[in-house]
Structure 1
Amino acid sequence: MSELENTEYFNKYFSTYPDNSSLMSLIEFFKDFSDDNSDLESIVGDILRGSLDEVIDMPRTNRFSLDELEKTEKTYIGTKVEILFRDTFGLDKGDKLDLKVRGHEVDVKNTIGSNWTIPSEALDEICVLLQANDNKSSFCFGLLICRNRVLNQGKNRDGKRTISKEGKNEILWIVKDGALPKNFFLHMNDDLRHEILSPSGGATRLANLFRSFQGEIITRRLVECVARQKDYMKRIRGNGGARDILAQEELLILWGGSIEDNKKLKSLGFKGINAEHFVCIKNNI
């Protein structure tokens, strides 16, 4: 049972919130957004994947892992997540906090570790909590009223506090252990990585990528990373692109931005497919 529908859990931790209407409004917003668009897990997973990939910046830095980032870059991930979250959900920036949802101010906190740092201005306010685990290709997305009782007393130099062990029990999880689109090169062995990336032509590299990961969602960002060219989308199309190379092997690249392709992918069981996604399948499926 989702904690959103768990009445006993909700009443235990959230019914005493002074302005319960703002919390309910936020919950309804995410429910409505999911109903109107697509699977909420896929939406938030894409936000996190995009944020991590943009900071890792594989096309220009040849890095694959969060472990290779500088400390300041890791800090910036939180800012990037906030920006993409606000843009994806079509929200305005708050006057005091990160977001304004249906008139209520909300803060957004992301971590690639095991805890979040809560600023003093977010005390007694609702926080959207996001946690990404690139190694396990999983993420969590929840809400927490950052009351004094859920925070550790110690503060860092900026006056921020972390969530206590007991406080984590009060997180209202909207998505728990969701599927984070995987970091392909992080989980790839060295031989396969070399096979995909070593050819000089972008179309050949993309063909190698799609051939190696048939039936898996490939993001536009990953296409850019592998093509390593400004006109990277040209390398995936026909007229000498990866599609032509793979067509000779009876493999077909489907694009989520095509109505026909999207319908095909949904019939094959793919969820949350959009214009940022590509999938390679056998032509006879």
Structure 2
Amino acid sequence: MPRRLQPSLAQPGDVCASERSGKAHTIDHPDHDVEMQTVLAWIMGKPVELLMTEAIVEAVEYVLDGAKTFRFDLNSPDVDSDERRTFGVKLQYRIIEAFGLSKKRPLDTTISDVPVELKATLRDNWAIPREGHCQICLLTQVDTKNDKYRVFLMRTHRRWLSEGKNQDSKRSIRADARDAFALVVLDWTRLPRNPLKDLAPSELEVVFQPGVGIRRRVTALFGYLPETVIPRVAIETVAAMAKDPLRRAREAKPDVAFSHDLVVLVGTWPPQRQLAARHGFDLSGEAWVAIRPETLGDDYDTAVDMMRRTGK
């Protein structure tokens, strides 16, 4: 059967009509779309990268729920397709909260009194519902395999959407329309990488070995990842299902020092956070790091004393 050709891409000045309302309107170029420019100016007046990064990280962590499931990678076969589909909904609410917006009809929110649809994808495209046709959409694409994301603002005119639709009657955005008429809010931007993803399969077997105590498994973790900042969520994932998992993990500090000659500092305590920062390690968010004596240099004794005093 011959492949069906896409119709030519509609251009500014052409007429479009939403599938939902059927109302005809003229397509404006994004540079001349007053509502688009109003929303873009509002967004760009915020610390967009900081807010979007935090929102995405929180949505990923919510879906994984590592402290109860031992999971740390959204691409893992342990995460089923239904859970991945919830990511977009979770991110929508995280974005609304991060930017100080409200959930508001007729779409997902309003920015400067302009209705805005919030769409996210873990794939290559977005599924636009009928109510999103010809509306302004904030589009987030997350590549969890490569720990990066990007954000567009686009008025998703019906004529810029695919002819085919999925079982929910949603249509994807034509790539040529996105390339020509989507405004880049953030180009590809790095996401914090969970260091558990850097462990070899044999190392993961040790760190998550069933029936072995948290103290031994956390000791192995730091031995595999010396001088690597390990976020609190990774510690909680390794110690999943335990009562007071962070206390149990702190009990491993002497073992890490004895087995691997490393000094563990924890960002919960400002003096340790400041000492780690002096040597190039950012322990914000209560992250952890195990540092070699030669890296600490003259601060070694101070670091050991700090570690001992906050051992439990």
TM-score normalised over the length of structure 1: 0.76
Counterpart AA for 1:190: P
Note the 1:200-239 alignment, pairs <5 A. 200-228=212-240, 229-237=242-250
| Residue of structure 1 equivalent to 2:58 | 50
Structure 2 SS opposite 1:166: helix
CA contact (8 A) 2:70 2:238 kept: no
8 Å CA contact 2:264–2:291 kept in 1: the answer is: yes
Distance 1:171 1:67, change over 3 A: farther
Q: Does 1:177 pair with 2:193? A: no
Residue 83 of structure 1: how far off its partner (Å):
2.3
Give the C-alpha shift of residue 160 in structure 1: 1.6
Q: Is the 8 A contact 1:50 1:221 kept in 2?
A: no
Identity value in percent: 23
SS in 2 for 1:109: strand
Alignment-mate amino acid for residue 40 of structure 2: L
Where does 1:1-285 land on structure 2 (aligned, <5 Å)? 14-19=30-35, 20-28=37-45, 30=46, 33=47, 40=49, 43-63=51-71, 64-68=73-77, 69-169=79-179, 170-198=181-209, 200-228=212-240, 229-237=242-250, 241-248=251-258, 249-255=261-267, 257-264=268-275, 266-268=277-279, 274-275=284-285, 277-282=287-292, 284=296
Secondary structure (helix, strand or coil) at the match of 1:217 reads: coil
State which drifts further: 180-189 or 18-27.
180-189
Unaligned segments of structure 2, at least 5 residues: 1-27, 298-312
Equivalent residue number for residue 37 of structure 1: none
Gaps of at least 5 residues in structure 1 are 1-11, 35-39
Number of positions where the alignment pairs a residue of Structure 1 with one of Structure 2: 260
CA distance in 1, matches of 2:138, 2:145: 22
- The answer to whether the Cα contact below 8 Å between 1:23 and 1:126 also exists between their aligned partners in 2 is no
Distance in 1 between residues matched to 2:109 and 2:279, nearest whole Å = 36
Distance change (3 Å), C-alpha of 1:89 and 1:259: farther
Residues 96/254 of structure 1: CA separation in 2 closer, same or farther (3 Å cut) = same
Q: CA deviation at 1:179?
A: 1.6
Distance 1:189 1:121, change over 3 A: same
* Larger-gyration structure (1/2): 2
- C-alpha distance in 2, partners of 1:132/1:76? 14
The 3 A distance-change label for structure 1 pair 26 and 178 is closer
- Normalising by structure 2, we get a TM-score of 0.71
- Relative to structure 1, is the Cα distance of residues 62 and 211 closer, same or farther in structure 2, using a 3 angstrom cutoff? same
- Report the RMSD for the aligned CA atoms in angstroms: 3.0
Matching residue's letter, 1:280:
A
Q: 1:191 to 1:48 in 2, by over 3 A?
A: same
Q: Aligned letter for 1:15?
A: D
Secondary structure of the 1:15 match is helix
The separation in 1 between residues aligned to 2:271 and 2:155, in whole angstroms, is 44
